[in-house]
Each structure stands twice: as C-alpha cells, then as structure tokens.
Amino acid sequence: MALSKNEKRKSLLLVFSLESFLLVLLLFSIITSSLAEIFFEEQFDDDWQSRWVKSDWKRSEGKAGSFKHTAGKWAGDPDDKGIQTSSDAKHFAISAKIPEFSNKNRTLVVQYSIKLEQDIECGGGYIKLLSGYVNQKKFGGDTPYSMMFGPDICGTQTKKLHVILSYQGQNYPIKKDLQCETDKLTHFYTFILRPDASYSIWIDGRERDSGSMYTDWDIFPPRKIKDVNAKKPADWDDREYIEDPNEVQPEGYESIPREIPNPKAKKPDHWDDEEDGIWRPPKIPNPAYKGPWKRKKVKNPNYKGKWKTPWIDNPEFEDDPDLYVLRPIKHVGIEVWQVKAGSLFDNILICDEPDYAKKVIEEVFANREAEKEAFEEAEKVRKAKEEEEAQRAREEGERRRRERDRDRGRDRHRDRNKRRYRRDYDDDYHVRIHNSSNPLSLPLFPFASASALYSSSPTPYLVTGGRLRHSPRKCSTYSGYEPTHILFPICFDC
C-alpha cells in the first residue's frame, strides 16, 4: 500500500530523529571518555608484572602468598585475565606506582572487580590507596594508607564492605554496616567521593549506598546537637485531640441501669413463695447501658505538635572544607590475608568521571552470561566429582565394616576354643603342640600374613591327637572369602 506524502515525511523524520539520538549518545560517550582524567587503569595484560611489585612482607616467616595470572576456573572471556591469590593461609601484598595526583576540587572514583572462586571462609578482598613514601618491597599490613575499600568475609556473620578513610594520620571506618557480595561470580565495587564530601557506593554499577563524610564517619563531632538546656514552654499544647466542650450529657443518661431483669425468664413450677421467698427473675446486661458518659474527642485548635528538643550549633564543631581531600596518592596496593586462596582481582580504575567507570563495567559485563554458563558447567563437574568421592567413601566404609565383622567373628571363634582347650595355648599368640618327646610351639598367624603351611592365611585354633587344625581363609581379595577347616598332620621325626 502506497504511503502518502505526509506519512513518508513522518517516517523520514522518525528515522532522522532516531539516528540523531544515537549520534548524540555516541558523541556524549566519546566526550565523556575524553574528558575523564584517568590516573590509573589496570586490566592485567601479559606485561602486568612490569608495573606491579611483589612485596617480601612475611616471606622470611614462610607466610607470604603469591599471585598467578589467570582468567580463573570459569570466565566469560578466557583472554580477560587478572591476578589471583594462590596459596592458602597466607598474606598477600603487591603494589603498583601511580603518577602522583590529588583529588582536591575534583571527584575521585575508585573501582575494581573481584571474583571469589574459593569458599573463602575468612579473608579480605580489598584494595588500598597509598600516599607518601612507600617501599614497595616492604609493603604490608602496617604500611599507612589513605583509603581502604572492598569486601571482608569471615564465617557466616561477617560479610562486610570496608570503606576506611584517613584524615590527619588517623583511619576512620564508615559507621554503616555495608554488606558485600558472597557468590562466586565477578562483581565490581565502586567508591565515588565528591568535593562536597558526599559519596556514593556502587556494586555492579548500581548505587548501594550514599551519604556524607560529615555524618557517616566519626571524623568530626556533629554540626548540630540537641539543646540539653531547652524545656518545653508552659503554654505549649501538645494535645492533638480534646473533649468537645459543647457536648452535653443526655437527660436521664445516669439513671440507665447496668443490668435489668431477664424478660424471658419464667418462675419455676416447683417454686414455693412461702418456703422459697418471692421469686425474682435473674439479671442480664442492659443493652441500653453505654457505660459512664464521656464527651466526644475533637481536633484541638491550639495543637502545636509534639514538642521536640531543638537543635543548636555544636560549639565543638570546626569545619574543614578540605575534609574530602586525601593525601596525594602515589600507589595502589592489594594487601590481604586469606584462609583459602582463590580471589581474582581485575579492572582496577582510578579516575574522576563516574560515567567512564560505568562504561568499563558495561564492557566487562557484556560477557556476564557467558561467565554464568561457565560457572554452572564447572559446578556440575564439581558436584559429580564430589558424588564420586562420596560413593568411594561409602564403599570403603562398607568394606571396613565387613572386615571388622569378620575379625570379630574370628576372635570370638578363637576365644571360644581357647576356653575349651586352654592347655593347648601358651598365650594369645602361640598354640602348643603336645608331644611327649618333641613339644612344639607355633605362632597364631594373622589373617593377612603369608603361611608356609597353606597358600592362604591359616589360623590354628585346635590341637587334638597330634594334629594341628587350621581354619584358613581364601583371601586373594578382601571380600568373597569362605572359611574352610583342614587338618594338618604334624611330623616330629621327619
């Protein structure tokens, strides 16, 4: 069907508008990226070791762990590698130098990704920004830092997201109880600090929390405090409702009885007024009785609201307009301790533009579904392996149970015959061959030992008439044996 000129014009305008919108969006993205100042960006390509220095901290004690360059056990892109902790129950410390910068009068964005492939049990997964002089070969837990940011997990109770800021040489942790992610997929953590001392925390590009350094860290006393000397004014009316002064009690209201005789009650046939007295019907609650009269409640025209203690300026508060300014940053470091290793760090970014940080997240998460599929496949393999090991353990347990039952049966058999023929036993380990001219003592061979008398393992248990009786078991394997009873003649003169 042919379109009219107006319809064609509208279609062209729609196409043009869509193309214009996409072009503007592309230009905005390019401009944003070009305007963003990137102080440090690390994606851990093949020459990453030229930029990072491994610390010798704890190495002399044998407690220093190492990092390996890998994409992990499951990855959306096998070529996208990071560095992963690789030794259990160790301390890990590594750092990289940054061209010195200050966040004064600019927004600071700190972002990185981490994947906890292990059942971490207890350990950290945070990064640190370092100021001043740092000996990278000695970088460790006692090295001063300007900021520490990232997850810290220990058991089922601690799943904390640390945000610790340094002010005038003292570290201040955030007062909020922030929770981190605990699954085994890649997650991005982003901290944004602005010149007005406000902050935002993103997880995977979505805001998880926000606030101000003035209120969420105990760096300064509060700006405002309650006036402890203030008292509620005498004329302050905080009654929201009052009794209606215009309402009058209805006439005769007070004379309404609480109970009345039951009109349905009847005098019993056997009742004798002379003997039982005058019969009176029992009382029942009066439906007309409404209780003591009260005036209805109406809005109080003089209501001023609930009185609250007023806030006043805190005389101890001294503002610092540079509260948000960290000491000039010179290094970024990873310093953690982990019971189980396996945390993979990647995509470390320090810049001044949140939009650029979000763009990095979107690029990495383009392979998010592929990572989930790889993880699910790895989980299937792991569960199958665990089931196989569990089955082997069950079979081994059953085998040991059969052995214990067999040994108990053998011991009971031996003890029964020992009680019956006690004179034939030297002790629990030797049986005596009685002969007037040539007495002989033979060892009781253990079940699994070799024997010269029989191809399997005989257990002598009875001596009668110069013949040694054995109960050998056919034991080429540990299962499927059958006891047999064979009489062996003993020759003393041959």
Tokens of 170: 């003292």
- Residue 54, in any domain of the structure: yes
- Residue 360, in any domain of the structure: yes
- Residue 463 is part of which domain span? 394-489
What integer pLDDT is reported at residue 470 of this predicted model? 47
Are 344 and 412 part of one and the same domain? Answer: no
Are 413 and 477 part of one and the same domain? Answer: yes
- C-alpha separations of 280 from 35, 88, 251, 256 in Å: 100, 93, 29, 20
- Residue 264, in any domain of the structure: no
Are 130 and 83 part of one and the same domain? Answer: yes
CATH number at residue 104: 2.60.120.200
* Residue 329 neighbours by CB under 8 Å, 6+ apart: 39, 98, 100, 101, 102, 103, 129, 130, 131, 146, 350
- Residue 301, in any domain of the structure: no
Are 346 and 406 part of one and the same domain? Answer: no
Asked if residues 418 and 431 have their Cβ atoms less than 8 Å apart, the reply is no
- Residue 327, in any domain of the structure: yes
Are 161 and 50 part of one and the same domain? Answer: yes
- Residue 231 clears pLDDT 70, i.e. is over it: yes
Are 334 and 481 part of one and the same domain? Answer: no
| Least confidently predicted of 27-36, 113-122, 313-322, 355-364 | 27-36
Are 125 and 200 part of one and the same domain? Answer: yes
Are 354 and 458 part of one and the same domain? Answer: no
Are 158 and 211 part of one and the same domain? Answer: yes
- Residue 377, in any domain of the structure: no
Are 481 and 354 part of one and the same domain? Answer: no
Give pLDDT tens digits for 274-308.
888 888 889 999 888 888 888 899 999 999 999 99
Give pLDDT tens digits for 323-335.
999 999 999 999 9
- Residue 386, in any domain of the structure: no
Give pLDDT tens digits for 139-179.
999 999 999 999 999 988 889 999 999 999 999 999 999 99
| Mean pLDDT of the chain, nearest integer | 83
Are 411 and 452 part of one and the same domain? Answer: yes
DSSP state letter for 48: G
Overall number of domains in the chain: 2
* Closest alpha carbon to 457 in 407, 395, 492, 397: 407
* Closest alpha carbon to 180 in 194, 195, 191, 171: 191
Are 442 and 345 part of one and the same domain? Answer: no
Asked if residues 441 and 430 have their Cβ atoms less than 8 Å apart, the reply is yes
- Residue 44, in any domain of the structure: yes
